[in-house]
């Protein structure tokens, strides 16, 4: 069986929505995902960059993220034909480990703990494919990087791109 590694944040879990909601509430703004096309929140609001980046260091931040539409059904389907591993660069924010683990157990109960990979540098992954929203993870990855669309990566070129989970399904199961 071929192996697919799937990123958690912005691929399975809607991190940007919560990030924007917190920022808008704390700074009395009304930014939307459209304001983040081609950039990141801390880059368009550099005066608040430290606060924005600190949100994800809250040990509970990742616990209640919304599930990306279609991800549960498609990942379950993929796991019938592929070895599926959920991979997250949790070591970049070590306080996130428990919340991410609990989130995965709640929303993807059909996956085993042995299918969760908490790492730093994703180049260590031994998989045929990596679905991720951040092309930096493809740099030294030995398999094929598949870019999952997010506002910040809209202008990235040179990768197979999927815009949603229906497109992931078609790419791997058609």
Catalytic machinery residues: 7, 9
Sheet holding 83-88, edge to edge: 116-118, 83-88, 3-7, 129-132, 144-148, 160-162
Under DSSP, is residue 159 helix (H, G, I), strand (E, B) or coil?
coil
> In terms of Cα–Cα distance, which of 127, 126, 136 is closest to 92?
136
Strands 129-132 and 83-88: unpaired
Residue 119 and residue 7: Cα distance in Å, rounded?
Answer: 11
Dihedrals φ, ψ of 118, to 5°?
-100, 115
> In terms of Cα–Cα distance, which of 109, 141, 152 is closest to 19?
152
> In terms of Cα–Cα distance, which of 119, 102, 120 is closest to 62?
102
């Amino acid at each position: 069986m071929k192996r697919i590694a799937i990123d958690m944040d912005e691929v399975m879990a809607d991190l940007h929505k919560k990030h924007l909601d917190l920022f808008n509430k704390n700074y009395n703004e009304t930014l939307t995902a459209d304001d983040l096309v081609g950039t990141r929140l801390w880059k368009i609001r550099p005066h608040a960059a430290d606060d924005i980046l600190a949100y994800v260091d809250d040990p509970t931040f990742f616990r209640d993220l919304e599930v990306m539409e279609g991800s549960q059904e498609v990942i379950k389907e993929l796991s019938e034909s592929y070895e599926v591993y959920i991979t997250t660069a949790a070591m970049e924010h070590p306080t996130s480990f428990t919340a991410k683990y609990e989130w995965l157990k709640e929303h993807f109960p059909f996956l085993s703990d042995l299918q969760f990979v908490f790492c730093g540098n994703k180049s260590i992954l031994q998989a045929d494919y990596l679905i991720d929203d951040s092309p930096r993870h493809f740099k030294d990855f030995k398999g094929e990087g598949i870019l999952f669309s997010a506002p910040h990566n809209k202008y990235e070129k040179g990768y197979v791109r999927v815009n949603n989970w229906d497109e992931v399904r078609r790419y791997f199961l058609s």
